[in-house]
A = this chain, B = another copy of it.
Amino acid sequence: MEVKFNNLNNTDSFKKLASLPVPDIKKIITPERVSSFSIKAGNGIDYNYSAKCADTSVLEALQMLSDEQQAIAKYKKVLSGEIMNKGEKRMVLHHYTRGAFGIDGREVKERGDFYKTEIKRVYDFADKIHRGVIKGSTGAKFDTAVQIGIGGSDLGPRALYIALKGYMASEGRTPFLYCDFISNVDPDDAADVINRINPESTLFILVSKSGTTQETLANSYLVKNLVKKFSPVTDISRHMIAVTSKESPMASSPDFLDSFYIDDFIGGRYSSTSAVGGVALSLAFGGEVFQDLLDGAHESDMKALENDITKNASLLDAMLGIYERNILGHTAEAVLPYSQALSRFPAHLQQLMMESNGKSVSVNGDRLSYPTCPVIFGEPGTNGQHSFYQQLHQGTDIVPLKFIGFRRSQQLLDAQYEGSSCQKKLNANLAAQITAFAQGQNDENPNKYFAGGRPSDLIAGERLTPRSLGSLLAHYENRTMFQGFIWNINSFDQEGVQLGKKLAGKVLGGNSGNSVLDAYSALLA
């Protein structure tokens, strides 16, 4: 099946959508809707959209729009290995890392085999580290891994590590290795990490697909210097492994104990389920835990093939976001996990969505006349309630809210206080917020008046486990991809990062000192 690439504002269904009356959340929300406006999304997760600004007419028009923009057909093209990263003329194969090969189309078998082989090599390597078959250069067993990477080589793996370390504790196991991360070229970042680890029992993971990332190479060099200065480790190559592409200058270098490979068909922000996330997570928790995460993601990938938007959580989530952005005119979205383990998940989603869909040009190369990705931000609840929720409730702009919650806590340590557990309090607060945002409150005192009508959705899970985490991750990755199809943009390149790199190179080639202002003046001259 051929697919076509039309701008959103040229579709009939978008015009239809724009002509519909906007539903009033305060009027349509009912207890019945809580159960009927819900999709089973796999791995014990429900996508609940009862508090969204959507009625049957809006949903029908969104279905038409999804069909007219061929969201599912284009997803199938991705899975069958067509060149869907059009600007860079590349395939888009991150789904292959969790086992989705060639659904309804040809399969790029060679690439699928490559990802399988690499992750198997990762599992074997992690197992050798855990069993002490491979030790540090001074004979110490490795107990810490430090990932050196930035952007996609940092935010996803870091968010997932934080999300799972408490799960291990609840299983009566500690992580095999503790993980830490160095990303920023600010030398204080590396100095801070080196201050708190023991280099003798630390394995550094250098992650750069191109093998040329300035921050990562500079940090690797700085780390080598600091380790030499402050520890008895002299042969750091026995403490460093690489995750890179086979064509990179880092590949097969004698500077590394071992190397694991990725390729150009997986973008940084989509690479958490490749060796980029797999090495650190397998070292920390073991290959079995990482495989559970991949299986969870795969289940979500398969559910995302459903054409009916009311049965496809990530597609519906995408379509509702389009409605809020392009019809209702909202300019930001807040991601609000009621789970401390997901404290850095919003930062990962911020990258995923804003780097993928923060674009002004269509895949055909014309400038768009409609807005694309909103600003994405968020912090865990209930923390946010005591911070920026004031503005979400009573500010002048409406910000759609994306809640995430789990029935059980992750670590299963809790206490009853004043008649209820902390976990119950957490979820009571979440339920209260959804209701308060949707319904508002009349009050004669204008300071105590809440307009309500503020839309939210909720991903409700049983518990945050490797499988449900994989499912969550894939949900948002697929939502992002679907939104790119609707906006008719390329979600898989990032040309917007190039100009800054070029100008930074110009500064570093010049004679300025460390002063920002001098460098900035020089660039303007």
- How distant is A5 from chain B, measured CB to nearest CB, in Å? 14
Q: Hey, which chain B residues are within 8 Å of A332, CB to CB?
A: 331-332, 375
Complex CA–CA separation, A382 to B500 (angstroms): 11
Q: Mark A474-515, 1 if CB is under 8 A from B, else 0.
A: 000000000000000010011111111111101110001111
Which of A214, A365, A425, A433 lies at the interface centre, i.e. has the most chain B CB atoms within 10 A of its CB? A425
The answer to whether A517 has its CB under 8 Å from any CB of chain B is: yes
- Contact status B496-A391, CB under 8 Å: yes
- Please judge, given known A-B contacts A396-B372, A516-B458, A519-B428, whether A499 and B355 are in contact too, CB under 8 Å: no
Complex CA–CA separation, A214 to B382 (angstroms): 11
Task: Kindly report which residue of chain B lies nearest to residue A365, judged by CB atoms.
Answer: B446
Complex CA–CA separation, A155 to B384 (angstroms): 10
Chosen A-B contacts, 18 in total, with CB atoms closer than 8 Å, are A31-B525, A35-B521, A187-B421, A187-B422, A188-B410, A190-B413, A194-B413, A222-B422, A331-B332, A331-B375, A350-B387, A351-B386, A355-B391, A358-B388, A359-B390, A359-B391, A370-B396, A428-B507
Complex CA–CA separation, A230 to B53 (angstroms): 48
Q: Which of A129-137, A146-154, A243-251 interfaces with chain B? A: A146-154
Q: Hey, which chain B residues are within 8 Å of A392, CB to CB?
A: 358, 496
- Please judge, given known A-B contacts A332-B375, A514-B421, A523-B435, whether A186 and B151 are in contact too, CB under 8 Å: no
The answer to whether A473 has its CB under 8 Å from any CB of chain B is: no
Q: Hey, which chain B residues are within 8 Å of A396, CB to CB?
A: 360, 368, 370-372
Q: What count of chain A residues pass the 8 Å CB interface test?
A: 156
- Contact status A382-B150, CB under 8 Å: yes
Task: Kindly report which residue of chain B lies nearest to residue A410, judged by CB atoms.
Answer: B188
Complex CA–CA separation, A499 to B442 (angstroms): 11
- Which of chain A's residues 438-460 have a Cβ closer than 8 Å to chain B? 439-441, 446-451, 458, 460
Q: Mark A418-440, 1 if CB is under 8 A from B, else 0.
A: 11111111111111111110011
- Contact status A221-B417, CB under 8 Å: yes
Secondary structure dominating the interface of A: helix
| Identical chains in the assembly | 2
- Please judge, given known A-B contacts A184-B340, A222-B415, A447-B493, whether A34 and B520 are in contact too, CB under 8 Å: yes
- Contact status A184-B383, CB under 8 Å: yes
- How distant is A181 from chain B, measured CB to nearest CB, in Å? 10
- Please judge, given known A-B contacts A188-B340, A360-B394, whether A388 and B413 are in contact too, CB under 8 Å: no
Q: Hey, which chain B residues are within 8 Å of A190, CB to CB?
A: 413, 422
The answer to whether A290 has its CB under 8 Å from any CB of chain B is: no
Q: Which of A70-78, A98-106, A297-305, A401-409 interfaces with chain B? A: A401-409
Complex CA–CA separation, A143 to B25 (angstroms): 52
- Please judge, given known A-B contacts A187-B413, A360-B396, A415-B221, whether A215 and B520 are in contact too, CB under 8 Å: no
- Please judge, given known A-B contacts A188-B341, A390-B358, A503-B436, whether A395 and B372 are in contact too, CB under 8 Å: yes
Complex CA–CA separation, A417 to B222 (angstroms): 8
Complex CA–CA separation, A117 to B517 (angstroms): 42
Q: Hey, which chain B residues are within 8 Å of A219, CB to CB?
A: 422
Complex CA–CA separation, A501 to B450 (angstroms): 13
